[in-house]
Amino acid sequence: MIEISEIKKILNSKLTSERYAHTLCVAEEAAVLAKRYGADKEKARLAGLLHDICKSDNRDSLLQMMREFGIIPDNVEEYAEKLWHARVGAAFCRQRLGIEDEDVLSAVRYHTTARAGMSLLEKIVFLADYISADRDYEGVQEIRTAVYAGLDSGMRVAAAFSMRELIKKQRLIHPNTVAAYNEAMREWVTVNRLRSGKSI
């Protein structure tokens, strides 16, 4: 297993200084959320460190690695290059760094789109990326509040925010994001129906 210190050296060489600082913030936020919600803190910190490992790679480099790793973009990714770094990053971690923990790799893989049926670690890394200490975009406090109220409420609010922003920018929405939102909404509707005494 590669040492954290070595991973940080690799990240520092691959990422812009701003992206590297963000990565460290996400790793720490992921560890905090892991402690709060009963996940493995060290795995959360590791996945947080790795989540953007290929984010600063240029288009040609990402395409080359996609060919090398046998990654075929789906019909949304084909038109949404901002999603490439997540799939490439997970493959890079497996092939180049020797990371074998499937939950960590999956957290890297789905940290941009989310998906239905996410593991605890996947949710933690997805949400840590939204609310890490360096984030100051309009709406971040609402998402922070939701995340600290519960991971499911965090997923509902974050996925909704993501889709609103993509629609505003006239970009494609990955079906995984829609599925994650719908799953979180079903949970929310079910809980509220039970609280109100209504049948499901």
Domain assignments of the chain as residue spans, ordered by start = 4-196
51 touches 60 (CB < 8 A): no
Question: Residue 185: what pLDDT?
Answer: 94
Write phi, then psi, for 183 (nearest 5 degrees): -60, -45
* Strand ranges (E), the chain: none
Helix axes 17-37, 120-131, angle to 10 degrees: 130
Q: Give CA–CA dist 187/199, Å, rounded.
A: 14
Q: Give CA–CA dist 106/115, Å, rounded.
A: 11
Q: Give CA–CA dist 78/142, Å, rounded.
A: 32
The total number of residues shown for the chain amounts to: 200
Per-residue pLDDT of the chain (200 residues), as tens digits, is: 789 999 999 999 999 999 999 999 999 999 999 999 999 999 999 999 999 999 999 999 999 999 999 999 999 999 999 999 999 999 999 999 999 999 999 999 999 999 999 999 999 999 999 999 999 999 999 999 999 999 999 999 999 999 999 999 999 999 999 999 999 999 888 877 777 776 55
Q: Which fold has domain 4-196?
A: Hypothetical protein af1432 (1.10.3210)
Q: Which residue has the tokens 């509040």?
A: 145
